[in-house]
Structure 1
Amino acid sequence: MEVKKISLFSCILMGIGSIIGASVFATTPIAIKIIGGNGIVLGFIYASIFVFLKTFPEMVLTSALPANGASYMHLTRLIHPYVGIVHAFNQLVIGTMKVATMALTFSTYFKMIFPSIPEVIVAITITLIFTIISLYGIKFSATVQNICVAVLLGALGIYIFGGWGHTVVSLKDVISTNFEVAKMWAAMGIMHGSLIGANVLMYAADEIDNPGKNIPIAFVVGTVITSVLYAALAYVTVGVMPNFYEIDNLATVAQKFLSPAMLVFFISGGALLAVVTSINSAILMFSRSHFAAARDGLFPNSIMKINKYGAPGNSIWLNSVITILAMISGFNLTDVVNITAIPGLLLSPIIFASVFALPYKFPNSYKTSFLKIPHWINCLIVIIASVLSILMGSYVLKQMQPKNYIIMIAFYIVAAIYTYLRIKYLKDKKGFDMISKMKEPYQPWIDRERQATEEFSVKNSN
């Protein structure tokens, strides 16, 4: 079955819509309360630099070896299956909790317009709506995303340009005032999640035109545009409302300078659409990761089933059902943000390790990739990104409550038991060696390496 693929332009809009989402509306007030109003603007700038460093190793890998499931595929094939298995379960946590974050944030802003509807009902409803949209395939999801992003950018523009003239603190004062370094690290650990999003494209690489080139371009363009918008948004937020401890959400600030009609547009066209674009892309991203793991046998075979629209339908439902169960169980927004920050930071260096093995296992694909950067520079960036991830993760760890630790530890224990039983079941009952399957090179990568080798042979013979 031929899968419809999306273009570079759609990739850029998908990336922007993925970044500008629930996270900025959910985490900006939290980050401001950690670092204070004086550090938030620089915090977003520093966080964007960290996002480039943190995502760059994945970008290098995707440019050379694109595949649905991205990091999972790279870890299982280039490092070791067990490392990939840990990452697969991390994705199961991060994916479902990120969608939960977005859905809960959507319900918070939705309640400002329709206060009588319970937030949990709203959060579950919006999750189901975009689950259904995702079932119609990536082309349809991209079309919905493009429309939403156009309206979203207009709403953010109203907030930034409308609020700039109502600030009571100058930009110079906000940037030049001192702040505590430890609090900056903790805030950046949370804020970086607001700028990560364009990496969704890496996880759907098989469904994108010329992914080795278009994904890096879309990532860079989308992240730069968004980081500039965030810095301006942060300044307006604390500039209009310097008593930052009273900021519960951005709508609280917006109502100080927007007319009632514009406030409704900002909430519906800005906050609400920002959330739904992120829900759309998160479901796209993480369902592909679950699909890749199921293809190797880690999850049940039904999870890898492709529907008539070319979408992994059961994988999409798996992600959404777990999300809904998490929301029903009573997780609040702060719990969800903290739980996703730890595997997203402390455990992310395992993803970067694949870069070290890339030139040894697929040397010619690496040399002919769009990102032609010396290997030693890539390795240096990996080391820097790993150190920063661990450093920020340790500061976020200090913000967590005991119940967050208990939930995370329990999850990894259950995951380890499940993996052991799954390997044993497949080997004893099905005669299937899951670990050996995970070591098998991905066929499109083999074809890509063969083509690259032939290109080098032609060049050398001339």
Structure 2
Amino acid sequence: MAETSTEQLKKVLKPVHLWAIAVGLVISGEYFGWNLGWAVSGTIGLLIATLVITLMYITFIFSYTELTTSIPHAGGAFAYAYRAMGPFGGLIAGYATLVDFLVATPAIAVSLGSYLHFLYPGIPVTEAAVGFVALFILLNMLGVKESATFSVFITILAVIELLLYLGIVSPHFKTANYLADPMPFGWAGVFAALPYAVWFYLAIEGVAMVAEEVDNPKKNIPRGYISAIITLVVLALGVMIITGGLTDWHKLSHLDYPLPEAIGIVLGKGNGLTKIFASIGLFGLIASLHSIILASSRQVFAMARSGYLPRALSNINHKFKTPHWALIVSGVVSCIFIYRFKTDQIIMLSVLGAVVMYIMSMLSIFILRKKEPHLNRPFTAPLYPVFPAIALIICIICLFASVYFNPDMSLIFAGGLVIVLIVFVAMGKHKVALNEDMMNAPAEQGVIESLE
């Protein structure tokens, strides 16, 4: 039996908020993580991988927007896969999404701590990372509109900062540097680099997590997604190519702070501009950490509300109308990963979650087109079925590459999924149908429901 609570998520987000949340979720990918792909592929190898992944994300986002506007649910891919494939499909998509966002949070926090340590060597990286997670969990508890307003401000600063970086270092670009040892591992390196190229755009789909809090979602969600993907493509290609031609790229291929190191090599680490850049470089990481904590908490909230996680995690704070327990649990998980795993391991695990979630989402589009042909679709995937098919094929290739080149993290991901499935079946959750109203359009109803 379902009970309806009087608590509801506020519907206050506009296109500028969605652009800020989407870009903010992703923009840390331009600051670190992608450079690890150079170590396995070289500059040209990573460029090829990035162009392939860029095509994947463009076709994915235009297809994913169909799902987001048709089913504006805070659970995102979890809700879409449940509606298309039932309890097991929803569970797999929900698990993958949780891994995607919960694991990306500590990766960004560690890089943020590394940037701060670069500026002030006396500050330890790990403790700084934990402190940042705690700070932004608190900020997210204060209300979604307040959080989104902060996202707009900090994301604009982050974009300006990257444009400033490109303007300062572009005159120092040398083609000889960029083309030195361009594909040391051949085409195998291109496949190995695919997961790192995903990091350029990973988490943009997180806008779906705040779909229930968007004013006029059918019109505003597409605007937010499309403007965000254009912004990110320009920044990703610009930062990757220009940085690769500044110096010997091998020096930057294992760092958590490649951009300040690159500008330090070009201008000198004692140069005032280097210090200023490293300081404002924190903005991009702050934007992503803040936004991804927002998105991950909504995923925990949605799955708890549906009975797939402890229902207490779906409680809403009476004053601020935010899921405070979901935020706290997300923070605890992040801190565990900060202390237990290295940055490249965290990135790979997050990418595995993202790619599996993308696959489940694209499958959901095809299934729902046949299963529910009359579903209200305010935005439809362009050139259907071509766009979702391209995204699906590239995602499958990326998944195989991730598993082949990263067997250890793949086993951890698969092992977690097996455990979740066993618990799911043992508790009989697969036999309990979720309330149809909850899975249809809770953004229209504006209510928080829990299964009894």
> TM tier, shorter chain?
0.7 to 0.9
Q: For 1:436, give the aligned amino acid.
A: V
Contact conserved, 1:7 with 1:209, CA < 8 A, in 2?
yes
Ranges in structure 2 where 5+ consecutive residues have no aligned partner? 1-6, 446-452
Instruction: Flag the 1:439–1:381 CA change in 2: closer, same or farther, 3 A.
Output: farther
Identity %: 19
What residue in structure 2 maps to residue 131 of structure 1? 137
In structure 1, distance between residues paired with 2:266 and 2:251? 19
In the TM superposition, residue 338 of structure 1 has moved relative to its aligned partner by 1.5
1:442 is matched with: 438
| Equivalent position of 2:4 in the other structure | none
1:253 and 2:262 correspond = yes
Task: Give the superposition deviation at 1:202.
Answer: 1.2
The structural deviation recorded for 1:35 is 1.9
Q: Matched residue of 2:405: which SS? A: coil
Deviation, 1:263, is: 1.7
Selected match of 2:14 from 2, 7, 19: 7
Pick aligned residue for 2:311 from 283, 290, 301:
301
Structure 1 position 14, deviation (Å): 2.0
Stretch deviating more after TM superposition (59-68 or 183-192) = 183-192
Q: Using the TM superposition, give the Cα deviation of residue 41 of structure 1 relative to its aligned residue in structure 2, in angstroms.
A: 4.1
Match status 1:348 vs 2:358 = yes
Distance of 2:116 and 2:370 partners within structure 1: 51
Distance 2:228 2:342 in 1: 29
Deviation at 1:321, TM superposition (A): 0.8
Residue 418 of structure 1 is matched in structure 2 by: 423
Per-residue Cα deviation, 1:32-55 (whole angstroms, up to 9, x for no partner): 222212344454333222112233
1:162-241 alignment to 2 at 5 Å?
162-169=168-175, 180-241=186-247
Counterparts of 2:97 and 2:440, CA distance in 1 = 23
Instruction: Measure the CA separation in 1 of the matches of 2:407 and 2:191.
Output: 18
Aligned length: 431
1:292 maps to which residue?
A: 302
Pair 1:218–1:437, CA change in 2 (3 A)? same
| Residue 363 of structure 2 corresponds to residue 358 of structure 1 | no
- The root-mean-square deviation of aligned C-alpha atoms, in Å, is 2.7
- 2:161 and 2:277 in contact (8 A); partners too: yes
- 1:17 counterpart = 2:13: no
Bigger CA radius of gyration: 1
Whole-angstrom CA distance in 2 between matches of 1:381 and 1:217: 18
Give the aligned residue type for 1:274. Answer: G
Partner of 1:408: 413
TM-score for the superposition, normalised by structure 1:
0.86
Task: Tell me if the contact between 1:294 and 1:303 (Cα under 8 Å) persists in the aligned partners.
Answer: yes
Q: Which amino acid aligns with 2:352?
A: I
Residue identity opposite 2:346 in structure 1: V
In 2, distance between residues paired with 1:392 and 1:29?
A: 18
> Which residue number corresponds to residue 149 of structure 1?
155
Match of 2:327?
316
**Whole-Å separation in 2 of the counterparts to 1:363 and 1:65:** 14
Out of 26, 35, 38, the residue aligned to residue 32 of structure 1 is: 38
Q: What's the CA shift string for 1:183-214, capped at 9, x where partnerless?
A: 22332332122213332211110101111221
Q: Is the 8 A contact 1:45 1:227 kept in 2?
A: no
Partner Cα separation in structure 2 for residue 145 and residue 16 of structure 1? 9
TM-score (norm 2): 0.87
Partner of 2:273: 262
Q: What CA distance in whole angstroms lies between the structure 1 residues aligned with 2:209 and 2:246?
A: 39
Does residue 244 (structure 1) correspond to residue 250 (structure 2)? The answer is yes
Deviation at 1:448, TM superposition (A): 7.2
Q: Which has the higher contact order (CA 8 A, sep 6+)?
A: 2
Distance 1:447 1:282, change over 3 A: closer
- The separation in 2 between residues aligned to 1:33 and 1:178, in whole angstroms, is 10
Which residue does 1:283 correspond to in 2? Answer: 293
Q: 1:105 to 1:118 in 2, by over 3 A?
A: same
CA contact (8 A) 1:298 1:422 kept: no
The answer for the alignment partner of 2:449 in structure 1 is none
How far residue 108 of structure 1 moved from its aligned partner, in angstroms, is 1.2
